[in-house]
Chain A
Amino acid sequence: MKGRIIGISGPTVTVDIPDLKLYDRVRLGLERLQGEVVHLSSGRAMVQVYEDTRGLALGEPAEGMGRPLSAQLGPGLLTGIFDGLQRPLSRMAAVHGPFIRPGKLLSPLAMDQSWQFTPAPQIGDTVTAGEVLGTISEGSHQHPVHAAAAGTLTMIASGLVVLKEPIALLAGDIKLYAHEEWPIRQPRPYRQKLAPTAPLITGQRIIDFLFPLAKGGTAILPGGFGTGKTILEQAIAKFADVDVVVYAGCGERGNEMAEMLEEFGELADPWSGQRLMDRTILVANTSNMPVAAREASIYTAVTMAEYYRDMGCHVLLLADSISRWAEALREISSAMEEMPGEEGYPTYLASRLAGFFSRAGVVETMNGRIGSLSIILSVSPPGGDFTEPATQACLRTSGAFLMLDTALAHRRHFPAINWFQSFSLYDADMGSYFEKEVSPAWNRNRRKCQALLQRDEKLREVAAIVGADGLQDSDHLLLAVAERIRQDFLCQNSYSADAFSTPELTAEKINTIISWGEAAEKRLTDGEELADILSKDKP
């Protein structure tokens, strides 16, 4: 399937390759840039190119690869850092130097690395397609190796294996490999989807206590610039109680990815004690990398996440930020001259996002295990305006909305999650879980805490008008309790030991504050002076 380039318009290239299929992968020009077919008409196809098209010439060769854009899946993904097309950035730097130039391709997995393989069937056995040939150990993870074809085994490896060699041979010299390729836009199959029942513990008190997330659930973090979206996403990536974290830096800063890479290599996972990087996969498509690859990057990330989910892991996918993805979608749509919808975004923005969110969930995998994939996306609304299309499209499908507030951020209250506007649809289910597993007072304290914060807001509005002297003693007491909740409970410094709080500590901390408030209230009604109560017990 070969042809030539007959037109170039920014990131879209028209080619005259016959017999292409929609979403087939195409290599273009002398540099062999990567692209994907997005439009077909007789005699010509439009290709969305994932790399910089500058310098590409009319008449240069183009070749259809006969398969869609895929991710390579197998042992060795963990600890890796990939770009949006799953190019391994560490090895790219070692081979090609510190700058990423177009067309340079390396296999995503290290094909020479050796792994421990334990075979299941023996030579002479007949295997069916999809049957498990054995497992490869990657740290604590067991990768099942599935047979891609059926037949009689004439060879099967055992012990140390490398990915580039076939792991087994079938009669007729059919080679079977330990890794697989999966089209990134196609969700990986499972037996059935289950309702989320367990919480996703983030170690952030305001989230776990007021707006709990669920394993297999979804959440969005919208906020203007400087509200700490990235810091919060990184904190969750560090502390979440999951087996695998896939973090996609989608159209964001290169320095942040470098910092994360360094930090995650040093810090330990608070749950297992192992190096954080050992459970992490980074996908870095920084803002200056080609836009089309940014669009693909979240699919690359979610496919790798699903792969670990299918091994029965709890996986968390974080993407920062989905607005940059939506903008990439808009740019591509406009290059294809599609009819624009609101603010120039294509009308299919909401359905694409919904499709992406639906890849989250708790599932019973094809081999009967239970795995979960949770998705948390940050949103960067232009001008901090939450009515814009990308935020609204996310709101419709996500299970929790953690709104980051510029006013709180300016006061250096972090995480700057607004406790009035945010919500979680999982709160009732997760509340009963925490009540059973962590503290019987969980829900009671939660209601009390919310009521206090509500009343605090009202009182501060009043105080702003009449002055603090115009308030009653009981109001002053309430303000003091609310202040403690805000400062000591809701605030959490990501640069200190307080950055991570277990649900037990969270429950204890809020209980201390609320019990203190209740006791103080009683002493006030018993006639004790407010000044005494506050001065004696001031935290």
Chain B
Amino acid sequence: MRLAEHRYKTISSIRSQLLMVEQVAAVRLGEVVRVVGPDGRSQEGEVLLIDGHTVLIQIFGECRGLDLRESTVIFTDAIKQAPLSLHMLNRVFNGSFLPLDGLPTPLPEKWVPVAGVPINPTSRARPEEFIETGFSAIDGLNTLVKGQKLPIFSCAGLPAKEIAAAILKNCTMTGTGQGRKQAVVFVALGLSHYEYSFYMETLAAIETNFVAFINLSSDPVVERLLAPRFGLTVAEYLAFEKEMDVLVVITDMTNYCDALREISTSREELPGRRGYPGYMYSDLASLFERAGRIKDRAGSVTMLPIVTMPEDDITHPIPDLTGYITEGQIVLSRDLHRQGIFPPIDVLPSLSRLMQQGIGTGRTRDDHRQTANRLYKYYAKGRDLRGLEAIVGRDGMSVSDRNILDFTDTFEQEFVNQGGSRRAITATLDTGLAILKRYGLEEL
């Protein structure tokens, strides 16, 4: 611990958002610095690299107006921390944790480093408690459980934000009724003003507690890297100290990754695939792995990040690396969207790896697994048959094949498609069973 603040006026170079400061006597990696320009404006930054007494600093905001002679760098001897307290609930902040809702900054109960520390794998409790999102395609066939990280892979122009809003509004975590509270942490990265007002209306309308971190497309790019870390630090605090079930919705991870690329390039790091840094996997993992449950503690952190796949390409580095870290994925389909189906979830490439533990007797309903398997099996078969139909025509196909094709259409129109309504899990399973029955497919 240093006894006094260190101030330096020894900036030797400024390039994009990087400052080089010379003759620094004591400094730590990741230390937060304040840079005061000649006009008195102050910004935050972070120590990136130390080479002898030369220090490289990343500025979080704009560098405009900084100079070499007058600007002062103040070292704070602390790494980036988040102020935490229950007063944050139902508040809206920006990517630097400053209030956006015009109310004063809440008084922190404690300060915690935003980077987080890994959960010891032996202390992790198995995610197995069902979360009801209200969407049949998710609850019925790709069930989300507490402590899971399940991304939504969307394409440009698909209604990912409507799905996110519906989940924010509708999700209920079973068991929360028994004295356990639930909360939503909403992190928006690189949002346009149009989307911003949409989400603000949504948040104003939801009943659960929320904490929102909003980074607009005009806000500093570095804040896009900070906002999810603030969000997750808050989520961990609410979950593991205040015993809440916390759902973290982050939109859009593609903007996060682009920010990562932009900053990595400005640091002259070696680019990897498509210019994204080689450490993007580890960086994304440092966010996604913060989801989970801990043995002998009540709360949970569940993550639902939204990823817009560039060029609709699931092999693009962003969805690809995300898929390697997360426990499954929900994939949206342009085809279903064109047919007016909402939510346009394609259940075939979608997957929830933790579904098996979260469904069945005592969790959802005892026939859940069986019903889901049947729906999936016949739908997959129907999708295969559609390829054949395109070649030989429906008339050239056998009666049973035509029946499955009809089932496939109905499944999309009545099971996946539900418009704006919310379906409870029992309604989801009943809908599925009714469709199977209509086509005589109750037996495998």
Binding site for B on A (CB under 8 A): 6-10, 14, 52-59, 81, 89-90, 92-93, 97-101, 224-226, 249, 251, 253-255, 257-259, 261-262, 284, 286-289, 291, 324, 327-328, 330-331, 334, 340, 343-344, 380, 382-385, 410-412, 464-465, 467, 469, 495
Inter-chain residue pair count (beta carbon < 8 A):
185
The answer to whether B30 has its CB under 8 Å from any CB of chain A is yes
B394 contacts across to A, CB distance below 8 A: none
B4 at the interface (CB under 8 A from A): no
Partner of A92, one of B120, B148, B271: B120
Contact indicator A344/B270 (Cβ below 8 Å): yes
CA distance A259 to B357 in the complex (A): 11
A-B contacts, 17 of them at CB < 8 A, read A6-B52, A8-B29, A55-B28, A89-B122, A98-B120, A100-B117, A100-B120, A225-B320, A251-B285, A254-B121, A255-B292, A255-B327, A258-B126, A262-B126, A334-B278, A344-B272, A467-B388
Closest to B295 in A: A98
The reply to whether B122 and A58 contact each other, CB–CB distance below 8 Å, is no
Among B120, B281, B295, B348, contact of A99 (Cβ-Cβ < 8 Å): B120
Known contacts A262-B126, A382-B273, A382-B320; 4 additional CB pairs below 8 A are: A53-B30, A57-B27, A58-B27, A384-B315
Q: Does B325 have its Cβ within 8 Å of any Cβ on chain A?
A: yes
B396 contacts chain A at the CB level, 8 A cutoff:
yes
Which of B50, B321, B328 is the one whose CB lies under 8 Å from A9? B50
| A contacts with B: majority SS | mixed
**Residue in chain A with minimal CB distance to B148:** A255
Query: Which one of B115, B124, B315 contacts A258 once the chains associate, using CB atoms below 8 Å?
Result: B124
- Most chain A Cβ neighbours within 10 Å, of B117, B290, B354: B117
Secondary structure dominating the interface of B: mixed
> Known contacts A7-B52, A286-B289, A382-B317: does B324 contact A89 (CB below 8 Å)?
no
Q: Is A344 touching B122 in the complex (CB atoms < 8 A)?
A: no
A81-B121 in contact (CB<8A): yes
Cα A469 to Cα B324 in complex, Å, equals 42
- The CA of A410 and the CA of B329, in the complex, are separated in Å by 13
B contacts, CB < 8 Å to A: 24-31, 49-53, 79, 113, 115-127, 147-148, 269-273, 278-279, 281-282, 285-286, 288-290, 292, 294-295, 297, 315-317, 320-321, 323-325, 327-329, 348-349, 351, 354, 356, 376-377, 380, 387-388, 391-392, 396
* B272 and A343 within 8 A (CB): yes
What residues of A have a CB within 8 angstroms of the CB of B354 in the complex?
255
Min distance, Cβ B259 to any Cβ of chain A, angstroms: 18
A57 touches B28 (CB 8 A): yes
From residue A263, how far is it (CB to closest CB) to chain B in Å?
Answer: 9
By a CB distance below 8 angstroms, the chain A residues around B328 are: 226
- Decide if B289 touches A288 in the complex (CB within 8 Å): yes
Give the docked Cα–Cα distance between A328 and B278 (Å).
Answer: 9
Q: Which of chain A's residues have a CB closer than 8 A to the CB of B325? A: 253, 287
CB distance from A404 to the nearest CB of B (A): 13
User: How many whole Å from A258's CB to the nearest CB in chain B?
Assistant: 4
Residues A412 and B320 in contact, CB atoms below 8 Å apart: no
Please indicate the chain A residues that have their CB under 8 angstroms from the CB of B147 in the complex. Answer: 255
B217 CB to closest chain A CB (Å) equals 28
Q: Is the CB of A98 within 8 A of B289?
A: no
Q: How far is the CB of A104 from chain B (nearest CB, A)?
A: 10
Q: In the assembly, what is the distance between CA of A412 and CA of B148, in Å?
A: 21
Flag if B30 contacts A55 (CB, 8 Å).
yes
Contact present for A100 and B278 (CB under 8 Å)? no
Complex partner residue of A81 from B24, B122, B320, CB under 8 angstroms: B122
Q: Is the CB of B327 within 8 A of A8?
A: no
Partner of A58, one of B28, B126, B273, B388: B28
Do residues B120 and A9 form an inter-chain contact, with CB atoms below 8 A?
no
B116: chain A residues at CB < 8 Å are 288
Q: Give the residue of A8, A92, A255, A467 whose beta carbon is less than 8 angstroms from that of B392.
A: A467
Contacts of A467 in B (CB 8 A): 388, 391-392, 396
Q: A57-B27, A255-B354 are in contact. Are A412 and B376 (CB under 8 A)?
A: yes
Complex alpha-carbon distance, A56 and B27, angstroms: 8
Q: Is the CB of A255 within 8 A of B127?
A: yes
CB distance from B307 to the nearest CB of A (A): 13
Given A9-B49, A382-B317, A410-B348: A287 and B392 within 8 A (CB)? Answer: no
Q: Which residues of A contact B122 (CB under 8 A)?
A: 81, 89-90, 92-93, 258, 261
In the bound complex, residues from chain A placing their C-beta under 8 Å from that of B321 are 382
Task: Report the minimal beta-carbon distance from A88 to chain B, rounded to whole angstroms.
Answer: 9
Q: B329 to chain A: closest CB distance in Å?
A: 8
